[in-house]
Amino acid sequence: MDDDALCEIEITEGRVCCVRLNVEIRDRDIEYWRDPKENAKHEALHLLLDKFKKMGKRLYTREDELMDEIENIVLILEKVIK
């Protein structure tokens, strides 16, 4: 993990996630760590968007693949956002 990072998230092709937190909290980061629920939500959003990010990095991604993944993200967000 980058020494300057607060958190690192790694997601395998099988959608298994490993989140590593930096154990050294610097003064500038204290405000970020005050609300663990918000931190968890932030990392969960990274998980939600991971497949979309990987699709964007591929050399060839069909438009229908992107639209399907966008629809999946929207369906999940509909359940979460009230």
Compute how many other C-beta atoms are within 10 angstroms of the C-beta atom of residue 75.
9
Here the contacts of 73-82 (C-beta below 8 Å, separation 24 or greater) are: 73/48, 73/49, 76/48
- pLDDT digits 0-9 by tens, 22-80: 767 777 767 767 777 777 777 778 778 888 888 888 888 888 998 898 888 888 888 88
**Domain residue ranges of the chain, discontinuous segments joined by +:** 7-80
Which pLDDT score is estimated for 3? 64
